[in-house]
Amino acid sequence: MTRIRTDLAVEAKEVYEQQNEGKIPGVQIEEYEEIGMKVTHVKIVNEHGEKSMGKPIGEYITIDMPEFVHYDKEVMDDVSKALAKTLSKIVKLDKSMTALVVGLGNWNVTPDALGPKVISKLMVTRHLKELVPDSIDENVRPVCAISPGVLGLTGIETAEIIKSVADKIKPNLIVCIDALASRKTERVNRTIQIGDTGISPGSGIGNKRMEISKRTLGIPVIAIGVPTVVHAATLANDTIDLAIDEIINQATKGGEFYNMLKSLNKGEKERLINEILHPYVGDLVVTPKEIDVVVDSISKVIANGINIALQPALDLEDINKYVN
């Protein structure tokens, strides 16, 4: 069985269901609507689920964004509100507690710039609470933010930077935003995943080795991710599978040839993929051409969703006055 790595729990679930029959042991799935958007709530409850899904025990909620989100303010606001509602369910925080929002990724590389772009649209208040407390409503929660960069640009593990800053300012919650890779093009820029297990090593389209999670940082970590690319290698892999499935459908089940096709092994597939992507292999991604504009829109939607969730005492109009 070929294991396809995916950043999305909802895709891991699909892969499992494709390769097995029946329910996934140790995993609870609930689907419902929020402001007209489909929400899929995946709970991995024990080690069985962990193993089947290739993801740690915890909650993973996926919101499917509607189609015209990027041009329509009302739809964008609705997505922000659905995100805020979802966040509120898994964020338990007194109003005086501090949140640190972390924008993962590289601001020079468009499909990886989602995190830093969210940071630039966030309502940041910690310094106002500290420096000019009288000028600011006491119901405003202290929020701070960093964009730590990526290992290739900084030479420092991203988790190390976050840990240093968190040790110093002692937030009660960390919210990480990251650009992800999905397996399917239909999810690119259309899906938001919210999880409570942090960021695992190697997730995201950047380069992260050390886990960013409650286990390593000692503070609850909520991860918000949006797939902005499919890896070209994933696309090539899935295309090969699809081609083979098609041929198998036309072959006689149980025949000699059928069995040969079934056994096209992983090594052979990888060789094919390397051949087709040479010399880029690892770095090629599949994106819509207009990725610049789209990442910009999505970063607004995410930033607003976080602002609403972290500042329950304010309405959107008040929030806008603080946003930079």
Report the site for a second copy in 88-117 (rule: CB under 8 A): 107-112, 116
Binding piece for a second copy, criterion CB under 8 A, among 38-46, 133-141, 195-203, 249-257? 249-257
Site for a second copy (CB under 8 A): which residue of 290, 312, 313, 315? 290
- Shortest separation between residue 128's beta carbon and a second copy, angstroms: 8
Written as six digits, the tokens of 155 are 């030479």
- The reply on whether position 280 binds a second copy by CB under 8 A is yes
Site for a second copy (CB under 8 A): which residue of 30, 31, 275, 315? 275
**Cα-flanking dihedrals φ and ψ of residue 29, to 5°?**
-125, 135
184 by DSSP, 3-state: which? Answer: coil
Q: Are 145 and 124 in contact (CB under 8 A)?
A: yes
Binding piece for a second copy, criterion CB under 8 A, among 7-15, 43-51, 68-76, 80-88? 68-76
- Closest CB to a second copy among 30 and 138? 138
Cβ burial 7-26 (10 Å sphere, 16+ → b, else e)? bbbbbbbebbeeeeeeebeb
- Shortest separation between residue 47's beta carbon and a second copy, angstroms: 30
Total site size for a second copy, rule CB under 8 A: 93
- Closest CB to a second copy among 57 and 240? 240
Distance CA 261, CA 128 (A): 64
Site for a second copy (CB under 8 A): which residue of 146, 172, 216, 297? 146
- Shortest separation between residue 89's beta carbon and a second copy, angstroms: 25
- Closest CB to a second copy among 253 and 289? 289
Site for a second copy (CB under 8 A): which residue of 33, 47, 72, 138? 72
- The reply on whether position 239 binds a second copy by CB under 8 A is yes
Cα distances from 50 to residues 12, 22, 44, 198, in angstroms, run 11, 17, 6, 14
- Closest CB to a second copy among 116 and 220? 116
- Closest CB to a second copy among 152 and 218? 152
Identify residues 207-226 at the interface with a second copy (CB under 8 A).
Answer: 209
- The reply on whether position 177 binds a second copy by CB under 8 A is no
- The reply on whether position 138 binds a second copy by CB under 8 A is no
* CA atoms within 13 A of residue 48's CA, in its CB half-sphere: 7
Site for a second copy (CB under 8 A): which residue of 114, 118, 224, 235? 235
Q: Position 310: which residue type?
A: L
| Sign of the torsion angle spanned by Cα atoms 213, 217, 221, 226 | negative
Q: Position 138: which residue type?
A: E
**Cα-flanking dihedrals φ and ψ of residue 68, to 5°?**
-90, 25
109 by DSSP, 3-state: which? Answer: coil
Q: Position 79: which residue type?
A: V
Site for a second copy (CB under 8 A): which residue of 56, 58, 115, 148? 148
Strand partners, 37: 34
* CA atoms within 13 A of residue 260's CA, in its CB half-sphere: 6
